Structure 1
């Protein structure tokens, strides 16, 4: 209890930092110290945090929303269309069997060995994977802030660690859960651009910042100019706000399940989908993303 209390005191002193883009958080620790991370101790600490979160009441609400949204996303996949009654699909989703067809991509987790907020967010990811019966190997994780030791710890947990900075430009070719806690606007915008079609967007299930919340916190002209895909997506996505107890404000605040119903996407004119230009961000003074080396 004393260790947890100390960690939360540290987290609260950093109030507000967790809600900023963690893609900007690069560990200041020397490389030699990062390599000396005790993998076994780190993995045990993460699993203890998983056990702690599993006992929280709000976790059950997260689980229910994942399974419901996962069932809806899977029903959009060609292999599953018109093969089963939607009510049966939803029931299977509640039991956690249907979501095993989902893949998962996690961006911007942060340095979980040194940051309590990042460790709780990693623990929540592991809980969601378990609830949806998504194999650990089918979850790919990436953050430029990961140390060598942290990458080894993630592999020890069974996750797949990406070695290249995709800048969020991952195409969803099958139903995919994107876990993006407190990521920057550019990362969301890049993901939307890469999947900007009526076929790919419905395959995406995002657990991350509320899009409407991002809009409310951004100057309107900058939002439209710099993050056009995010700006358009706000009006056609479906959001379900996830509960967050006050003591986890720095960890899970403003988090929502975001999906893209086909019926909403079809309301947009066909010109919306014609050759969408890749985002450039040339006029962004505070770009919340770490670019790949080839772009930097």
Structure 2
């Protein structure tokens, strides 16, 4: 990974040969610039030995193996400095390995990624998105969305963008439990501000994914969420008519970073 940002030229020692010298990083600067992907490999190995991962693996193999052909990951966070985000990235790699999805088939984006983090993701084989989609990505094949502890609007936007029974059945989510989101909100605000979540919650198929006490802050309230066509057919036809794009006018704390509007 190449990274020159933040490098400083070390002061010349007394008696050293004069002349131009390429800037050289200090040990700390080099550590900050080039992320050690070995830490991610170590975290993957730790997770492999956890009982809860073995339970995840069994559920995923039973429900998803050979089904999802692509993956999208939003909102991973700064995994260079945040241990929780590093474990979430390591879990994503385990999921891709288990579901036989090439790492290059997984698109990742978070507006907070640093340059060195983008370099590390590229080195690991991920495909980096170039702009903030706000979750509004259309799908045309079964796609796994890895959305660990993401804002409610991201889920709502994803549903809106794919709001037909034929398309929703192609969406698979590993992320926040929809029922957990509902329980933490006033029902009238849930229905008003996150109407797509509210409309689909009664027919989605949600399988809780366990975690150990050690990783409670990292993987708590996580579920596998799917939209079986036979369940979607239970919704009234009027549910699917001309869905309006969410505006979130009553949500000052939206929990997602909005896309910058071009002038």
Same fold (TM over 0.5): yes
Between the aligned partners of 2:221 and 2:106, the Cα distance in structure 1 is 23
Structure 2 residue corresponding to 1:54, chosen from 48, 58, 64: 48
Structure 2 unaligned residues grouped into runs of 5+: 8-28
Residues 123-152 of structure 1 deviation map (CA, whole Å, 9 limit, x = unaligned): 000000001110010000000110011011
Aligned partner (choices 249, 252, 257) of residue 282 of structure 1: 249
Using the alignment, how far apart are the partners of 2:36 and 2:238 within structure 1?
A: 50
Is 1:44 matched with 2:34?
no
Secondary structure of the 2:80 match is coil
Q: Distance in 2 between matches of 1:203 and 1:295?
A: 31
Structure 2 match to 1:125? 92
Q: Report whether the alignment pairs 1:204 with 2:171.
A: yes
Q: Whole-Å Cα distance in 2 between the matches of residues 118 and 163 of structure 1? A: 20
Partner of 1:248: 215
> Offset of 1:69 from its aligned partner?
2.7
Q: Deviations over 1:196-233 (max 9, x none)?
A: 11111111110000000000001111111100001112
Match of 1:237 in 2: 204
The answer (yes or no) to whether the contact 1:120–1:251 under 8 Å persists in 2 is yes
Structure 2 distance, partners of 1:119, 1:38, is 16
Distance in 1 (alpha carbons) for counterparts of 2:157 and 2:95: 24
Secondary structure in 2 aligned to 1:206? strand
Change (3 A) 1:167 1:295: farther
- Residue aligning to 1:183: 150
Offset, 1:295: 7.4
2:132 maps to 1:162: no
Match of 1:134 in 2: 101
SS in 1 for 2:91: helix
Q: CA deviation at 1:263?
A: 0.9
Superposition map of 1:251-266 within 5 A: 251-266=218-233
Query: SS in structure 1 opposite 2:36?
Result: helix
User: Which structure is richer in relative contact order (CA contacts within 8 A, separation 6 or more)?
Assistant: 1
Helix, strand or coil for the counterpart of 1:179? strand
**Aligned partners of 1:272, 1:234: CA distance in 2, in Å?**
13
**What runs of 5+ residues in structure 1 fail to find an aligned partner?**
1-30, 71-92
Q: Where is the helix percentage greater, Structure 1 or Structure 2?
A: 1
- Secondary structure at 1:134's aligned position in 2? coil
- For this pair of structures, how many residues does the alignment match? 237
- Distance, in Å, in 1 between the alignment partners of 2:83 and 2:56 is 20
CA distance in 2, matches of 1:238, 1:295: 38
The CA distance in 2 between the partners of 1:128 and 1:188, in whole Å, is: 20
Cα separation, 2, equivalents of 1:160 and 1:180: 16
Asked if residue 272 in structure 1 is aligned to residue 245 in structure 2, the reply is no
TM-score scaled by length of structure 1? 0.77
* 1:1-44 CA-partner distances (Å, limit 9, x unpaired): xxxxxxxxxxxxxxxxxxxxxxxxxxxxxx748x96343x5211
